[in-house]
Amino acid sequence: MATGLSKESTSNQDFLRRLPAKNRILGSDWLIPYTQKISTHRIQVLIDEALEEVRREIRKQNTWLDPQKKIMATLDAELAKGLQRVINVTGIPLHTNLGRAPLGDAVLQAILEVTKGYSNLEYDLLEGQRGSRHTHVEEPLRAITGASGAMVVNNNAAAVYLMLVALAKGKEVIISRGELVEIGGSFRIPDVMQQSGAILHEVGSTNKTHLADYEAAINENTAMILKVHQSNFRMRGFTSAPPLESLRTLAQKHQILLGVDLGSGVMIDLTKYGVLDEPTVPYYIDAGMDIVTFSGDKLLGGPQAGLVVGREDLIAKLKKHPMARALRVDKMTLAGLHATLSLYLDGKAMQEIPLLAMLSQSQEVLRARCEHLATQLQGVGEVTVRSVSSFVGGGSAPDQGLPSYVVAISLHEHLDAFARCLRQRRPAVVGVISHNAYHMDPRTLFPEQEEELIRAVLSCAKDSGYANF
């Protein structure tokens, strides 16, 4: 070490000596905001790391480096790590990266009530003996969907897997080539099928699959025909698939199962709100499907979960399968899901499920909210209200935009720095850069977040060097 130092230029040694001691840094005013959010021990570790990095850079570059800048960058990176609140102004209500469906007050209240103390999670209060965790949401799911059986697992990927492993392991499952879907880069129907031990039997072509294709594929080892909803893409042009009714008849004739991986579990027809081509779960049950799987946190608007509804005898097989235990949900999910389903049964879903309330906001309301925001942001670059097309997200209605409005802030070359500053705020703000402007869509902004958003925008406009106020 001593020989290493002696090789350094005198200026280098001066720079290194000028670096403040850790104790002096710990007393700095600029550190106070961090000390409120990061533990003292962790701050000390991070300051040590940052100082070491600054020393290395000084030796390498032979120039003075400001340690405060480096330390702040290190601490900012630490703050960005933990799971935390984000103000979503992307306008995408089912943003998978931002946690999909937000939960409303009634649902949070139910989770709090059930999990704060003990609950009858697996206890039958009438009989005073062991019960089943499945019973809690079974009844409301049956009532809403019309199915005779229902079950809940960790997510829809788990639901599809359990359905296949319990009902089709070692047997063939027929799927149209147009439905071998990949969702979010890690869920692929052929891969899940392989893991389950079911044998994929592809039929038809990418754009057209006929009833005769399905029929020709059926043999004595066929367990199921599986329909997979084209959640995150749509096919246009010359396409065709047999109507559900004829698939139903075919499956019945050959005594095989007809299953659907629906992805988004929409319960109420949302066509009038502009969400097209997303048939409801009750529609599929009514059309005679044996088993249907979907997510709890997509268009249903609840917590992450995988829901399976369909014939009671099939659901019973899923519940008994050894994998069911590995895929089961906890009491928080069950409490949240139960409360979400109750809102549907009570006719309060459109108002009280935040996701559905967001989707049903009228264009006039969105425009008025934009104008209100815009007046409070005057002076931050050029602020305008633009009409745009926003998306539902989360593998729902992928190709069709909802007419919407955004507040657009033009900041010229400062745009990226502005967006970065907003992401690093607490709470973080995530919007969209589009057409040389920062777009903020009020559809996904909760009214109680408006003040925070305005403060963040004003502060970041200043920080990124652009504000004419």
Ligand X SMILES: *Cc1c(COP(=O)(O)O)cnc(C)c1O
Size of the site for ligand X (CB under 6 A): 16
Asked if 138 touches ligand X (CB under 6 A), the answer is no
Asked if 156 touches ligand X (CB under 6 A), the answer is yes
Q: How far is CA 209 from CA 175, 193, 247, 371, in A?
A: 10, 20, 12, 49
Q: Where are the beta strands (DSSP E) in 101-159?
A: 123-124, 129-130, 149-153
Q: For strand 149-153 and strand 306-310, is the pairing parallel, antiparallel, or unpaired?
A: antiparallel
Asked if 181 touches ligand X (CB under 6 A), the answer is yes
Instruction: Give the side-chain half-sphere CA count within 13 A for 434.
Output: 16
Q: CA Rg, the chain, in Å? A: 28
Q: Among residues 235 and 417, whose Cβ is nearest to ligand X?
A: 235
Span interacting with ligand X, options 102-110, 153-161, 269-277, 459-467, rule CB under 6 A: 153-161
Asked if 162 touches ligand X (CB under 6 A), the answer is no
Q: How far apart are CA 373 and CA 24, in angstroms?
A: 43
Q: Among residues 12 and 145, whose Cβ is nearest to ligand X?
A: 145
Q: Among residues 332 and 417, whose Cβ is nearest to ligand X?
A: 332
Distance in Å, CB of 395 to ligand X, minimum:
4
Q: Among residues 54 and 226, whose Cβ is nearest to ligand X?
A: 226
Q: Among residues 260 and 457, whose Cβ is nearest to ligand X?
A: 260
Distance in Å, CB of 180 to ligand X, minimum:
11
Do residues 226 and 173 make contact, with C-beta atoms less than 8 angstroms apart? yes
Q: How far apart are CA 61 and CA 75, in angstroms?
A: 23
Q: How far apart are CA 379 and CA 409, in angstroms?
A: 10
Distance in Å, CB of 363 to ligand X, minimum:
27
Which one of 93, 140, 263, 310 is in contact with ligand X (CB under 6 A)?
Answer: 263
Which one of 12, 90, 295, 333 is in contact with ligand X (CB under 6 A)?
Answer: 295
Q: How far apart are CA 245 and CA 289, in angstroms?
A: 9
Distance in Å, CB of 369 to ligand X, minimum:
29
Which one of 25, 151, 157, 440 is in contact with ligand X (CB under 6 A)?
Answer: 157
- Which element (helix H / strand E) includes 455? helix 450-463
Asked if 231 touches ligand X (CB under 6 A), the answer is yes
Which one of 43, 47, 141, 183 is in contact with ligand X (CB under 6 A)?
Answer: 183
Asked if 395 touches ligand X (CB under 6 A), the answer is yes
Its sign, for the CA torsion 58, 63, 68, 71, is negative
404: nearest Cα among 355, 361, 454, 352: 361
What does the binding site for ligand X look like in residue numbers (CB under 6 A)? 155-157, 160, 181, 183, 187, 228-229, 231, 261, 263-264, 295, 306, 395
